[in-house]
């Protein structure tokens, strides 16, 4: 292995065959101007196209390119997590593989980092080449999150950011299963500062975030950082209770005044029943979202499973495992990883 890199660039890859080479070219061009050692960690999140072969070919040519190959698709946030776990730089940069985040911005981030900031996050001033729906839903999403969460998660900010090793060390200890990395980084604290950029169009391919994944992501963000959905139940229940209390005398009076037929009949009852059941089921759904996440944590499965790696010290590590902070060093020490593997086998996972 070469010297310890100063910079680790982490990119999650899911079916990005058209972007691997251009990404590498642009990163290399930008990072070589720093004159300092760097590494590019590509995490293959279960791609079904030629991405892995292309990544491995790059790793063959340039040993600064490291490859982590997941055993299946574990999702964007988990892929980023693995990259963070294995990064050895003093500063770690998260970037999308589709070149929507311009690599040249990294230099600006590095400047801020050298000026003493521990987190430099990139704020999207404008988004190009994305559907109206995506842009609007994203805008709304960031604003809702901002209002209802307990940590200040900056608006219009994706995962494109630079983090100091101090922050990375804390993130490695945060092994929650439903991950919202931009929120988690905000939570860590330290000195954080924005840089502004225009989000480019995807270089090649289509978005890997269909609506279903976007909804899941939003739910992870909200449940991970806010109890607001649980608290809102009490307001609804108070409003409905007050309405019911008021309705009793009102209905009684009207029945006497207008006649016994007033508001009578099944229709009213059925409509109210449907409405109230819908409220109740909605809140049960919210409750379920939190409960399911508690279940995820209770099972404490590994966050991801690695099938193979390239240019990493840990060719032999079969699985990266979640759980207690002390174990996070797993990527750099194969023996303890084996012990963990054994434990996992016992659990039948
Ligand atoms: N990605 C991933 N696993 C997934 C979905 C996406 O690793 O299950 C990667 C993808 O290859 C890309 C990044 O995450 O590098 C962001 O995804 P995408 O560009 O599709 O999201 P969008 O920019 O459309 O929100
Ligand atoms: Mg993208």
User: How high is the pLDDT of residue 341?
Assistant: 40
Q: Please give the sequence-ordered ranges of beta strands (E in DSSP) within the chain, or none if there are none.
A: 7-13, 38-44, 65-70, 91-94, 119-127, 157-164, 192-199, 306-310
User: How high is the pLDDT of residue 314?
Assistant: 66
Segments making up each domain of the chain, as ranges:
7-208+301-338, 228-299
Query: Would the pLDDT of 106 be above 70?
Result: yes
* 19 CA to centre of ligand 2 in angstroms: 11
Decide: 199 in ligand 1 pocket, CB within 6 A: no
Counts for the chain of helices (H) and strands (E), in that order: 11, 8
Decide: 333 in ligand 1 pocket, CB within 6 A: no
- On whether the CB atoms of residues 168 and 101 are closer than 8 A, the answer is no
User: How high is the pLDDT of residue 308?
Assistant: 93
What are the pLDDT digits (tens) for 292-305? 999 999 999 999 99
Longest alpha-carbon distance in the chain: 90
- The strand pairing partners of 310, in sequence order, are 67
Q: Give the whole-angstrom CA distance, residue 311 versus residue 53.
A: 14
* 11 CA to centre of ligand 1 in angstroms: 9
Query: Would the pLDDT of 339 be above 60?
Result: no
Confidence of residue 261 (pLDDT cuts 50, 70, 90): confident
* 275 CA to centre of ligand 1 in angstroms: 38
Backbone angles phi, psi at 193, to 5 degrees: -145, 145
What are the pLDDT digits (tens) for 278-289? 889 999 999 999
* 42 CA to centre of ligand 1 in angstroms: 13
* 201 CA to centre of ligand 2 in angstroms: 8
The domain made up of 7-208+301-338 has a fold known as Spore Coat Polysaccharide Biosynthesis Protein SpsA; Chain A (3.90.550)
What are the pLDDT digits (tens) for 164-221? 999 999 999 999 999 999 999 999 999 999 999 998 888 888 888 888 888 898 899 8
What are the pLDDT digits (tens) for 69-105? 999 999 999 999 999 999 999 999 999 999 999 999 9
Chain centre distance of CA 101: 16
Decide: 209 in ligand 1 pocket, CB within 6 A: yes
Mutate to test the pocket of ligand 1, among 9, 10, 11, 12 (most ligand atoms within 8 A of CB): 12
Decide: 97 in ligand 1 pocket, CB within 6 A: yes
Higher pLDDT, 317 or 229: 229
* Lowest mean per-residue pLDDT among 178-182, 266-270, 282-286, 336-340: 336-340
Mutate to test the pocket of ligand 1, among 9, 10, 14, 75 (most ligand atoms within 8 A of CB): 14
What are the pLDDT digits (tens) for 227-257? 999 999 899 889 988 998 898 888 888 888 8
Decide: 76 in ligand 1 pocket, CB within 6 A: yes
Decide: 77 in ligand 1 pocket, CB within 6 A: no
What are the pLDDT digits (tens) for 23-61? 999 999 999 999 999 999 999 999 999 999 999 999 999
In degrees, to the nearest 5, what angle opens at C-alpha 165 toward C-alphas 163 and 169?
Answer: 105
Query: Full-prediction pTM beyond 0.85?
Result: no
């Amino acid at each position: 292995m070469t010297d310890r890199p100063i910079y680790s660039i982490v990119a999650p890859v899911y079916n990005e065959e058209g972007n691997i080479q251009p990404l590498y070219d642009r990163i290399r061009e930008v990072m070589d101007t720093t004159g300092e050692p760097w590494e590019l960690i590509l995490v293959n999140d279960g791609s079904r196209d030629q991405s892995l072969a292309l990544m491995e070919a790059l790793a063959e040519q340039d040993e600064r390119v490291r490859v982590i190959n997941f055993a299946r698709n574990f999702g964007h946030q988990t892929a980023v997590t693995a990259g963070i776990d294995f990064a050895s730089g003093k500063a770690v940069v998260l970037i999308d593989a589709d070149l929507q985040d311009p690599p040249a911005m990294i230099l600006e981030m590095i400047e801020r980092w050298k000026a003493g900031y521990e987190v430099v996050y990139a704020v999207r001033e404008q988004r190009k080449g994305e559907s109206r729906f995506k842009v609007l839903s994203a805008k709304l999403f960031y604003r809702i999150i901002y209002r209802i969460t307990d940590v200040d998660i900056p608006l219009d900010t994706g995962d494109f950011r630079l983090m100091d090793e101090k922050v990375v060390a804390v993130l490695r200890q945060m092994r929650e299963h439903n991950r919202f990395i931009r929120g988690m980084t905000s939570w860590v604290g330290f000195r954080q500062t924005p840089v502004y950029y225009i989000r480019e169009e995807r270089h090649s391919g289509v978005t890997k975030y269909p609506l279903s994944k976007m909804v899941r992501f939003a739910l992870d963000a909200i449940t991970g950082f806010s109890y607001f959905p649980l608290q809102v139940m009490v307001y609804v229940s108070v409003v409905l209770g007050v309405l019911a209390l008021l309705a009793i005398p009102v209905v009684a009076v009207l029945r006497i005044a207008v006649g016994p037929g007033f508001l009578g009949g099944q229709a009213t009852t059925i409509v109210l029943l449907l409405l109230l059941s819908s409220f109740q089921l909605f809140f049960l759904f919210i409750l379920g979202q939190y409960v399911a996440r508690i279940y995820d944590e209770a099972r404490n499965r590994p966050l991801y499973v690695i099938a193979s790696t390239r240019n990493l010290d840990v060719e032999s590590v079969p699985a990266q495992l979640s759980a207690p902070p002390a174990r996070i060093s797993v990527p750099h020490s194969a023996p303890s990883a084996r012990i963990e593997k054994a434990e996992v086998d016992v659990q039948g996972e």
